[in-house]
Amino acid sequence: MFQGFTPEAVEFLWGIKFNNNREWFLPRKEEFLSLVDRPMRELGSELFDAISAEYPKQSLRLHVCRVYRDARRLFGRGPYKDHLWLTIERPHERFEGVPALYFELAPNYFSYGCGYWDAAPATMARLRRRIETNPKALEKIVRKLNKSRFTLSGEAFKRPKGDAGKLLNPWYNRKNIAIGYDDNPEGVLFTPQLKGEVLDGFRFLMPYYQYLDTLAGDMEPNR
């Protein structure tokens, strides 16, 4: 049962950040499994079970990232990730970009939300087309989002693709899109109540997840 992370878990991630090498990590692997990996998997499993039960028609799977970076893509970085995350998303091919509900723990923050890790240009083109043809469907949930603790993020185009109005332009003119809430690694992070907070966030975000997830079924616009 998930009991919260600990200050020692955050300190361990700082340790990875400043000592990102096998000589430091390998003697401390069991400590990593106990402090970071096990509670992350417990949290993910309990969140997944709850969301799956509440949305039985939604095809979902849980993914908890590994601490090891892809050795082919280190680009001068160390072999270990200093921030870890879990996602709840629909089953998909490995390189297919899909939206996900996520929780992330880093040395200097934790966050949870919904969005794309790396949305395909075709996906964002479908979003723009949907905004053009049926803006009211998004307007309703965006107004609710703008009154919540969550914020919209994602790289914006240097040159706007068009004008969808003040409310929807932040959605229309982005290369990627995510909705998230960030907090300092303290307080609720170290309690069992973290699960309830994140679960409530996922419930609030489910309409946004569903909106983004259904974009895959839209016809790709002509470029």
Quote the pLDDT of residue 222: 67
Average pLDDT on 18-43 reads 97
Indicate if the pLDDT at residue 95 is higher than 60: no
Q: What angle do CA 182, 187, 11 make, to 5 degrees?
A: 80
* Reported pTM: 0.93
Q: Quick one: average pLDDT of 75-100?
A: 85
Q: Which of 71-75, 111-115, 174-178 comes out lowest in average pLDDT?
A: 71-75
Q: In angstroms, what CA-CA distances link 176 with 125, 169, 186, 188?
A: 11, 13, 29, 29
Domain boundaries, the chain: 7-119+177-211
The answer to whether residues 65 and 85 touch, using CB atoms and an 8 Å cutoff, is yes
